[in-house]
Amino acid sequence: MPQPARGDGPGILKARQERVCYECHPDAEADFSKSRTHQPVLSGNCTACHRAHGGKEAKLLSKSGAALCSECHGEMMKEQPGATGHAPFSGGDCQTCHDPHASDADGMLTAKEQQLCLECHSDVADVIKAGKSVHKPAVDGECSKCHSPHQTKLNRLLLAPSPDLCLACHTQMKEPLATLQVHAPAARDCQRCHAPHAAAQAALLAQPQQTLCAECHDYQAASFKDAHIGIEAAAMSCQSCHNPHFSNDPKLFQKEVHAPFASRSCEECHTLAQKK
């Protein structure tokens, strides 16, 4: 006569596996009734992670930490040469961010993304709270729109380099940046001028406009004073005349300009400063 199977396999169960487990763990069945459920739980395959009889690991797990997760997620968890890993991922602490059974948050996270990320990155939370202008993904708690939660070869766990990363959302800027006269910082790196999360200035500017522009443009240079008819930079708004990203004009003048300005007839409106 055939003998019952031994070990940690399904053996001869009197009901579906999860029904057997829930007879003693009824609280678990209620906890798992969430919008996102781990596939082994959904299929009632408790022994995919837990030993049915006993073992060395806590909670009757068949393996500990990332070693268990890698049995199904091994390809995603492979270390990429030259990549920087998110600390919990590199440390094999999957459950720092993910619930192993069920969750109401995307990605089986233990909490909504923003709440979860800011538990460790409290400095970013302070910046967002104090900011006059805030980046929409930061407001909406969509950190993974810009950052990899696991590993990447880029600094700050970014998913792509700037400006490519920014243009994934700011699509209306992609064609002009490729076809028009482009402000050099805009072509290289958006973060040269803009803060990624929040800023004390409008439009996420990293510094006040005149301070920011002065990093590249010498307001005391004769060429600057001549071009601006001797008006002090502090009395002007750079963006009232110049587009900070791109333009049809080599001087990056705005698309719509006052007719006298377009013809460079400044004296029609201004009393020009006398040259010394």
pLDDT tens per residue, range 219-273: 999 999 988 988 899 999 999 899 999 999 999 999 888 887 777 777 777 776 5
Instruction: Divide the 276 residues of the chain into consecutive groups of 10 and give the mean pLDDT of each group.
Output: 42 65 89 92 92 93 95 94 95 96 95 95 95 95 96 96 96 97 96 97 96 96 92 91 94 87 77 57
Query: Do 172 and 103 share a structural domain?
Result: no
Whether 10 is in a domain gets the answer yes
Asked, for residue 187, whether it belongs to a domain, the answer is yes
Asked, for residue 116, whether it belongs to a domain, the answer is: no
**Residue 263 belongs to some domain of the structure:** yes
Let me know if 255 is exposed, middle or buried by CB neighbors in 10 A (0-12, 13-18, 19+): exposed
What's the total number of domains in the chain? 2
Domain assignment present for residue 186? The answer is yes
Per DSSP, what are the bridge partners of residue 103?
A: 36
pTM higher than 0.95, yes or no? no
In a 3-state reduction of DSSP, which class is residue 133?
A: strand
Residues 96 and 198 in one domain: no
Asked if the structure places residue 153 within a domain, the reply is no
Q: Is the dihedral of CA 114, 115, 120, 122 positive or negative?
A: positive
Domain that holds residue 3: 1-55+90-110
For residue 174, being part of any structural domain is answered with yes
Q: What is the DSSP letter of 86?
A: P
From the list 190, 193, 196, the residue with the least C-alpha distance to 162 is 190
Whether residue 12 is found in the same domain as residue 98: yes
Q: Do the domain assignments include residue 84? A: no
Averaged pLDDT of the chain: 90
